[in-house]
Chains A and B, each alone.
Chain A
Amino acid sequence: MPVTANQLTLTFAADSRFIATVRLTAASIAAEFGFDVDDIEDLRVAANELFAFLVETAEDVGGDQVEIAIHPSDHDISIEGRVLGVNGTTHDVPAVDELTSRILDAVVDTHDFDGAWGRIHKRSSS
């Protein structure tokens, strides 16, 4: 998606130890933009799924890093991520498994994994 005014982009080593950091960052930004606690709780779960899935993909395809871009507004928040290889090359992400899809169905409004990007989108309930 195009760069947005409040976009935050972070690049992590493709390591599941950073999951908590991703969750915390997503939760903090959502709190800053006025999302209520239920939305934030849902977003934490979704960010967890997205990042863990991308780390696993990176391990499968030989990617080194996972890039996460967060696009918050007062009304909604999108988080997208992709796997980066050496010299910034990107890797396509596979379709998510059924369990992950069901979890994301429960906690975000939309999610899609297409081409190099995995995306989740959640509207604010308040």
Chain B
Amino acid sequence: MGPYPQTKLVVSDLTPEEVLDLFHAYKLKRRRAVRNQLVEEHMGFAHHIAHRYRNRGVADDDLHQVALVGLVKAVDRFDPDFGVAFTTFAGRTIEGEVKRHFRDATWAVRVPRSMKDTSLRVRAASDELGQTLGRPPTVPEVASHVGIDTDEVVAALAASEAYGTDSLVTGSEGGDAPRDREDVLGTVDDELESTADRALVESLLELLSERDRQIVELRFYEQLSQQEIADRVGVSQMHVSRLLTRSLTLMRAEATPGH
């Protein structure tokens, strides 16, 4: 494999409008040639992200390959009508893919963090929809509710099987006492209730500092209490509360139409 470009994030002469047109064309026809053009257009961006994770015990070639796969997934999943910049969306997808490479060894079997999060969200959505519908939800219903595609739901369900029957009582990271499934899943927060909100929150998280983002993710994705977050982050519970309020206020303001 040849050297990777390091200098420019966007390597073509296409205007942002032309790139957006390509995304619309790809959404409509799913032509591989268009997909490849979009991938090549943003290859430098993927390499840029991979470059940030160098010197951490993973070969550069591996990192760049992983980032490329993340970029391909991002192009496939990106909805140009959603109003979020592709780089915002892709950044999270590519980083998620790279972080998956630095897997968390605390869970049995090989289950990446992104899949753990997804599995918990799929489980929570299944339970919630089951109560609402009065029957077990279908995979497309769960996918729509969580805001992911149907085969990701299948993969998440496969991941939850990987935990085995003990997965209903799972230990939290850091050696805390095991918590019941209900505690892990908690209830879906009103602010994150709709699928659209979930997708929007993903992009709004980019606005926050690393620590603030971590706190919001611990609260809403891992369903930790403020005290558990405080213990994890090393600040007081009240401080966590204030930081959460500040972060959500900022995110709400950004999400307000006309902002």
Contacts and interface: CB of A to CB of B under 8 A. Distances in A.
B72 A16 contact: no
Contacts of B111: 36-37
B170 interface: no
Interface in A70-105: 97, 99-100, 102-103, 105
A19 B100 contact: no
Contacts, number: 79
Interface size class of A (residues with CB under 8 A): 20 to 34
Interface stretch (B129-137, B151-159, B251-259): B151-159
B90 interface: no
B151 A24 contact: yes
Interface in A11-56: 16-17, 19-20, 23-24, 27-28, 31, 36-38, 40-42, 44-45, 48, 52-53, 55-56
A6 interface: no
A19 B30 contact: yes
A37 B162 contact: yes
Q: Decide if the interface of chain B is mainly helix, strand, loop or mixed.
A: helix
Given A38-B100, A45-B73, A52-B32, A106 B68 contact: yes
Given A102-B1, A106-B65, A27 B36 contact: no
Nearest to A48: B76
A123 to B, nearest CB: 14
A38 B110 contact: yes
B241 interface: no
Given A38-B100, A56-B33, A103-B68, A44 B151 contact: yes
A56 B109 CA distance: 38
A64 B20 CA distance: 31
A53 to B, nearest CB: 7
A28 B65 contact: no
B154 A28 contact: yes
B146 interface: no
B36 A102 contact: no
Contacts of A16: 29-32
A96 to B, nearest CB: 10
Interface in B107-162: 109-112, 115, 149-151, 154-156, 158-159, 161-162
A36 B110 contact: yes
Contacts of A41: 115, 155
A111 B64 CA distance: 20
Nearest to A59: B31
A102 B30 contact: no
B66 interface: yes
